[in-house]
Amino acid sequence: MTNTQNDAAFVEFERVQKSYDGENLVVKDLNLAMPKGEFLTMLGPSGSGKTTCLMMLAGFETATHGEIRLDGVSINHIPPHKRGIGMVFQNYALFPHMTVAENLSFPLEVRKIGKSDREEKVMRALGMVQMQDFAGRRPTQLSGGQQQRIALARALVFEPELVLMDEPLGALDKQLRETLQFEITNLAHELGITVVYVTHDQTEALTMSDRVAVFDDGRIQQLAPPDELYEAPQNSFVAQFIGENNTLEGVVQEIKGNTCIVKLDSGDIIDAIPVNVSAVGDRTKVSIRPERVEFDKNRLQDGAHTLKAEVLEFIYMGDIFRTRLRVAGTDDFVIKSRNAPDQTRLTPGQQIEIGWLAEDCRALDA
Amino acid sequence: MTDTAQSGPVLAADGRPLKASLNRALRRQKMRAMLLIAPLLFFILITFVVPIGQMLFRSVENQIVSDTLPRTTQMLGDWDASTGAAPDTPVFAALTKDLMVAVEKKQHTRLGSRLNYETTGVSSLFRKTGRKVDDMGEGYTDQFVDLDPKWEDPVFWADLMADPAASALPMTQDAYAAFADTIISEDGDDPREEQPWHTVYLSLYQDLSAGADVGSLPAEVATAQTAAVTFQTEDLIAAFADIDEDWLSVDTWQTIQTYSPAFTNGYFLNAVDRQKTPDGSEWRPEDQQIYLTLFVRTMIMSLTITFSCILLGYPVAWLLANLPMRQANLLMILVLLPFWTSLLVRTSAWKVLLQQQGVINEIVVWLGLVADDNRLALINNATGTVIAMTHILLPFMILPLYSVMKTIPPSYLRAAKSLGATNWTAFWRVYFPQSVPGIGAGSILVFILSIGYYITPEIVGGTKGVFISNRIAYHISSSLNWGLAAALGAILLVVVLLLYWAYDRIVGIDNVKLGG
Ligand SMILES: Nc1ncnc2c1ncn2[C@@H]1O[C@H](COP(=O)(O)OP(=O)(O)OP(=O)(O)O)[C@@H](O)[C@H]1O
Ligand SMILES: [Mg+2]
C-alpha cells in the first residue's frame, strides 16, 4: 500500500468523458474518488452511462478524455487482464463448457497458481457463497440464484481488491435478491474489498451502499450516503428518483437565512429550505416526502403554513396507509401514514388541511 | 406420510394406475401428432427411403442371369469348372433353347453386358451367337419333317402339346410352351399358324432318345421315336465353337455359373477390388485395382477440404459475428455470392485461374517465385480439386459457424479477460470451445457434401483428383453397371455412417449446432 491515509482515493475518475460515436457524450465530466473498502453504488435510469463507467474502469472501453486511476496509478493504458479487477456480469457470464470448479479455477490457472493451491482457493471461495456441493455441476444445471453466487465466487477467488458488479441481481426474484444483497454486503465488508455496484433498483442501492452515486445524463447528480441522499436530495432529479416524492412548483418569494417562502403557481404560500435556489424570483420545484406531510394540526409548528387538500383516494397497504390528495392544483399529491392504533383513516371527499416542517420541504431547481 | 400402507402404484382419480392414465393421455396426443405429420412422413418414405432401399437392393440383385438362362443355369449346377473342360451337349442344348427365347425377347444383349462386367468379351460373344442361334437344331427339324410332313403342321403340334399325355415329353412341352408364349407376346402370332422353332424339334429328339413312354400319344410320335434312333445327330458344341471359340473356354462357363444365383456379392467384391472365384474371392490383378485407392483418396481429400474450410471459414465467421451490422451484412452477401452463380461457372473460373498458363501461375512466375519452365501444376490433380472444392463448400462451413458464434455473448470474452486471461487465452479457453459445435456441424456438412461431389473433381481433378463419386457417376451414366454403382454407393453410405458414429462417440452428436 502506497497510501498511508485511510481516506486516500483508491479508485479515482478525473474529468472522464466518453463518447461512442463522436457525436454524443455518454459520460460527461465524471469526477469520483473512492477510498479503499468502500461499497459504492451507481444508480440511475437506463441509458445514463452506468455500465459505460464500469466498463471504462474494467478496461473494456477507453475513456475519450480524462484519467482513471487505481491506487494512485493511471490505468488508462493497462489492458483489462492486467488490471486485476474482479467483475460480476449481469448475465453471470459463467463459462457454459466448464464446471463450476473449472470456472472458479480459471482465473487461478491463468495466474499460474499451483494445482493444490488452486483447489484450496476454489473450495474456500465456494464456501464463502455456500456452494461447496455444486463444484462438479455445469452452470446450466444451476438455478439463477446459484449461478449468481458462483459468478460472485469467481470474481472473488483471485482475491482482487476491487470488484465491479453490473446489475448482478437484476434477473432474480425479490426474495432471492434481498438474501443475496445481504450476502454480498457482508462478504464485501468481511473481505475488506472495494466494490463498485451498478443497479437501477434504488432500494438495493440504499440498503447496500456506503455511498450512492446517482447518475443521469452522463453526470453524477449526487454522491452521498443513502440517508443523506434520501433526506437531503440536492436537486429535483435526485428527489424524484430516490423514493416517493411530492413536487409542487412555484416561485421563490423570500429568502431569510436557511428558510424561504415559496409562492406556488396556485397562489398558496408554503415554507421550505432553499437548497438549489439562489435568488428571489427563481422558479423552483419544492419537494416533500409523503411520510413527512402532517394533517393533524396539533403536530404542526405554530405559524407553519398550511394548504387545503381534498382526499381523492385512500389505499390500505398493511403497514401504512397511502392517501392521494388534490393539493394546489395537482391530483397526485400522496401522503403516507403509519398504521398505528391512533391513526386517522381519511375518507375520499373529505376536506383537510396539510402542512409540514419547513426543514422537510426542500426548494430545488426548477 | 400417512398412507405408507399403500405400497402399490400411485392411482389416478378414476382408480387406474397413474402411469397407465398418463400413457393413455400421451398416446392420444402422439396419435394426433402422428396423423398430422403422416402425409409428410409418407412422402419422405416414398422419396427418400425407397430410393435408398432400391439402391441397396440393386447392389446385390442378380436375377438377370437365371431369368434369361433358366435352363442353362439349372444344368450348369452339376458342372465342375475344376475339371478344366467345357460342359457337355445337354448344357449346350439348354443354352440353345434359352438363347432362342432371349433373342426373340431381345434380352441376350442385356445379359451380355451384365456378364461383360465380370469377363470381358462375353457381350460380343452373346451378340454374335444371338444372330445365329435360330439355325441351331435345324437338322432335327428337317429329319422329323422328312419322316412325316405332319411334323411341319402347326395345328398338329398344337393338338399334340394340348394332349394330357404330352407330359411324357417334358422337354418338348417346355420348349413348345416357351415358343408359344414368346411368339404370342413378342409378335402377336398364333401358335396354331406358326411352325415351331428348331429348338422344339431338338427337345423332341432329346425326349424321344431319352426313351420317353409315348404309348398314349398319337402314332406319329411312336414312329418318330423308332426312327429317331437312326437320326443323324447335330453337334451343338461344334456349332457354338464355330460361332466363337470362347464357348469352349472354361472361363465363359465359369462366369455364367458363378453369377447364376439370384443374389450376388459380386458387385461388392468388385467395389473393393476383389473378384469372385468358384471358391470365394481373390484380389483383382494389380492393374485393375482402382476402387480402394479411390475410396481412400476420397476420404483423405474430403478431410483435407474440410480442414481447409475450417481454417478459412473460422476467421470469416468470426468477423461476420463480430463486425458492426453494416459491414457484417456486406460480408454476408460476399459469403453467399457463390450460391448465386452456377457451380459450373465457378469451377470453370478456377480452371482459368489455376492452369499452367493461368493467372496464378503467371503471377508467381512474374514475381520470380518459380521458374518459367517449372510452373506449378495446380489443376487436373488433387491440388486443383482441393482448391476448387474448398472454395465451393466454404459457405457450408461459414454459415453454421456464424450462427453458433452469433449466440456466444461477448460478455464471456470480457469475463475471461477480467479474470486475467490474455486475449489468446480468452479466445482459446473460452470462445473456441463454445464454437466447437459450429465446427462440428460445418465439418459434417462439408465432409458429407465433398464425399459425394463429382462435378468439380470431374472438371478440375484430372485423373489424380477424382473421387469415388466420379466412378459411381461413370457406372451409372456410361458403363450402365448400376449394380456396381449401387455397391460403391452403399459402401460410401456405410463409411459415412461409420464416421458419423465415430464422431458421435468422440465429440458427441449433441455437440453439433446449426444455430441458437
Ligand atoms: N457499444 C456502444 N456503442 C454505442 N453506444 C453505446 C454503446 N454502449 C452503450 N451505448 C450508449 O451509451 C449510453 C449509456 O449506456 P450504458 O450501457 O452505459 O447505460 P446504463 O446506464 O448501463 O443503462 P442500463 O441501466 O440500461 O444498463 C446509452 O445511450 C447507450 O445507447
Ligand atoms: Mg447497464
Domain match, A164 and A259 both: no
Residue in chain A closest to B434 (alpha carbons) equals A97
Q: Of ligand 1's atoms, which has the minimum distance to the CA of residue A167?
A: 27
B132, B408, B438 from B402: Cα distances, Å: 69, 10, 8
| Residue of A21, A52, A89, A214 best suited for mutating to test ligand 1, as the one with most atoms within 8 Å of CB | A52
A292 alpha carbon to ligand 2 midpoint, in Å? 33
The complex scores an ipTM of 0.82
Domain match, A189 and A334 both: no
**A59, A79, A106 member nearest B419 (Cβ):** A106
Residue B70, classed as helix, strand or coil, is helix
Distance from CA of B409 to the nearest CA of A (A): 8
Ranges for all domains in chain B classified under CATH 1.10.3720.10: 293-511
- Do residue B411 and residue A106 have CB atoms under 8 angstroms apart? no
Domain match, A158 and A212 both: yes
* Main-chain dihedrals φ then ψ at residue B106, nearest 5 degrees: 55, 40
Please identify, among A202, A236, A270, the residue that sits at the C-terminal boundary of a domain.
A236
Please identify, among A212, A236, A260, the residue that sits at the C-terminal boundary of a domain.
A236
Domain match, A75 and A100 both: yes
- Do residue A96 and residue B426 have CB atoms under 8 angstroms apart? no
B417 alpha carbon to ligand 1 midpoint, in Å? 20
The set of residues, in sequence order, having a beta carbon less than 8 Å from that of B421 and lying 6+ positions away, is A81, A106, A107, A110, B429, B430
DSSP per-residue letters across B213-246: --TTS-HHHHHHHHHHTTSPPP-HHHHHHHH-GG
SS3 sequence, A289-328? CHHHCECCHHHCCCCCCEEEEEEEEEEECCCEEEEEEEEC
According to DSSP, the residues that pair with B204 across neighbouring strands are none
| Sign of the CA dihedral running B283, B289, B292, B296 | positive
What are the start-end ranges of the H helices in A129-284?
144-156, 174-191, 202-208, 226-231, 236-241
Neighbours of A47 (CB within 10 A): 13
Nearest to A364 by CA among A268, A260, A291, A290: A260
Domain match, A194 and A55 both: yes
pLDDT of residue B90: 87
**A59, A89, A95 member nearest B430 (Cβ):** A95
- Do residue B422 and residue A58 have CB atoms under 8 angstroms apart? no
Q: Are B65 and B260 in contact (CB under 8 A)?
A: yes
Domain match, A229 and A102 both: yes
DSSP per-residue letters across A345-359: PP-TT-EEEEE--GG
- A355-366: b (≥16 Cβ within 10 Å) or e: bbbbebbbbbbe
- Note whether residue A1 is domain-resident: no
Domain match, A231 and A252 both: no
In this complex, is the C-beta atom of A95 within 8 Å of any C-beta atom belonging to chain B? Answer: yes
Where residue A209 falls among pLDDT bands split at 50, 70, 90?
A: very high
Distance from CA of B302 to the nearest CA of A (A): 29
* Main-chain dihedrals φ then ψ at residue A334, nearest 5 degrees: -115, 140
Domain with residue A158: its CATH number is 3.40.50.300
**Measured distance CA(A219)–CA(A44) in Å, rounded:** 10
- Note whether residue A20 is domain-resident: yes
In this complex, is the C-beta atom of B329 within 8 Å of any C-beta atom belonging to chain A? Answer: no
Domain match, A159 and A140 both: yes
A49 alpha carbon to ligand 2 midpoint, in Å? 7
- Do residue B422 and residue A110 have CB atoms under 8 angstroms apart? yes
| Sign of the CA dihedral running A139, A145, A150, A154 | positive
Residue A152, all three cell numbers: 460472485
Residue in chain A closest to B414 (alpha carbons) equals A60
**Measured distance CA(A158)–CA(A121) in Å, rounded:** 8
Domain match, A94 and A222 both: yes
In this complex, is the C-beta atom of B412 within 8 Å of any C-beta atom belonging to chain A? Answer: yes
Q: Of ligand 1's atoms, which has the minimum distance to the CA of residue A54?
A: 18
Domain match, A113 and A249 both: no
Nearest to B299 by CA among B439, B474, B469: B469
pLDDT of residue A3: 39
- Note whether residue A291 is domain-resident: yes
Domain match, A111 and A14 both: yes
Ligand nearest to the CA of A23: 1
Q: Are strands A211-216 and A39-43 parallel, antiparallel or unpaired?
A: parallel
Q: What is the mean pLDDT of residues A12-30?
A: 92
- Number of Cα atoms under 13 Å in the Cβ half of residue A219: 8
Q: Of ligand 1's atoms, which has the minimum distance to the CA of residue A53?
A: 18
- Number of Cα atoms under 13 Å in the Cβ half of residue A55: 19
Q: Which residues of A touch B422 (CB under 8 A)?
A: 81, 110
Nearest to A94 by CA among A31, A157, A32, A175: A157
Q: What is the mean pLDDT of residues A16-39?
A: 92
Residue nearest to atom 29 of ligand 1 (CA): A47
- Do residue B418 and residue A154 have CB atoms under 8 angstroms apart? no
Which amino acid does the sequence have at A149? R
- Number of Cα atoms under 13 Å in the Cβ half of residue B369: 8
In this complex, is the C-beta atom of B417 within 8 Å of any C-beta atom belonging to chain A? Answer: yes
pLDDT of residue B516: 52
Distance from CA of B444 to the nearest CA of A (A): 21
- Ligand 1 touching residue A60 (CB < 6 A): no
Nearest to B470 by CA among B212, B295, B316, B244: B295
Between helices B325-340 and B382-406, what is the axis angle to 10°? 140
* Main-chain dihedrals φ then ψ at residue B36, nearest 5 degrees: -65, -45
Domain with residue A289: its CATH number is 2.40.50.100
Structure confidence by residue, pLDDT tens digits, A300-317: 777 677 888 999 999 999
**Measured distance CA(A59)–CA(B425) in Å, rounded:** 17
Distance from CA of A61 to the nearest CA of B (A): 11
- B183-213: b (≥16 Cβ within 10 Å) or e: beeeeeeebeebbbbbbbbbbbbbbbeeebe
Q: What is the mean pLDDT of residues A222-249?
A: 91
Burial (Cβ within 10 Å: 0-12, 13-18, ≥19) of residue B240? buried
Residue nearest to atom 7 of ligand 1 (CA): A20
- Note whether residue A2 is domain-resident: no
DSSP code of residue B61 = B
- Note whether residue A83 is domain-resident: yes
- Ligand 1 touching residue A47 (CB < 6 A): yes
- B138-B141-B145 Cα angle (round to 5): 145
Q: What is the mean pLDDT of residues A204-218?
A: 92
**Measured distance CA(A185)–CA(B290) in Å, rounded:** 75
- Note whether residue A33 is domain-resident: yes
Radius of gyration of chain B (CA): 35
- A232-261: b (≥16 Cβ within 10 Å) or e: ebbbbbbbbbbbebbebbbebeebeeeebb
- Note whether residue A4 is domain-resident: no
In this complex, is the C-beta atom of B426 within 8 Å of any C-beta atom belonging to chain A? Answer: yes
Counted domains in chain A: 2
Nearest to A156 by CA among A133, A114, A190, A179: A190
- Note whether residue A174 is domain-resident: yes
**A58, A87, A96 member nearest B434 (Cβ):** A96
Q: Of ligand 1's atoms, which has the minimum distance to the CA of residue A218?
A: 14
A25 alpha carbon to ligand 2 midpoint, in Å? 16
- Ligand 1 touching residue A200 (CB < 6 A): yes
Mutate to test the interface with A, among B408, B419, B511, B513 (most CBs of A within 10 A): B419
pLDDT tens sequence for chain B (516 residues) = 444 445 566 777 777 888 888 888 889 889 998 899 999 989 988 998 898 898 889 899 888 898 999 999 988 888 888 888 888 888 998 999 999 999 988 889 999 988 888 888 889 999 999 888 888 888 899 999 998 888 989 999 988 888 888 888 889 989 999 999 999 988 888 888 889 999 999 999 988 888 888 888 888 888 888 888 888 888 888 889 888 888 988 888 988 888 888 888 889 998 999 888 777 888 888 888 889 999 999 999 999 999 999 999 999 999 999 999 999 999 999 988 888 888 888 888 888 888 888 888 899 999 988 888 888 888 888 899 999 999 999 999 999 999 999 989 888 999 999 999 999 999 999 999 999 889 988 998 899 899 988 888 988 888 888 899 999 999 999 988 889 999 999 999 898 899 888 888 887 777 676 655
In this complex, is the C-beta atom of B381 within 8 Å of any C-beta atom belonging to chain A? Answer: no
A301, B111, B509 from B477: Cα distances, Å: 107, 18, 36
Element (DSSP H or E) covering residue B306: helix B291-322
- Do residue B418 and residue A158 have CB atoms under 8 angstroms apart? no
- Ligand 1 touching residue A50 (CB < 6 A): yes
Structure confidence by residue, pLDDT tens digits, A113-132: 999 999 999 999 999 888 99
Domain span holding position A116: 9-236
- Ligand 1 touching residue A234 (CB < 6 A): no
A positions 163-192 inside 8 Å of B (CB): 164
What architecture (CATH level 2) is domain B293-511? Orthogonal Bundle (1.10)
Residue B433, classed as helix, strand or coil, is helix
Residue B302, all three cell numbers: 474430403
Domain match, A163 and A254 both: no
Q: What is the mean pLDDT of residues A12-26?
A: 92
Please identify, among A236, A270, A288, the residue that sits at the C-terminal boundary of a domain.
A236
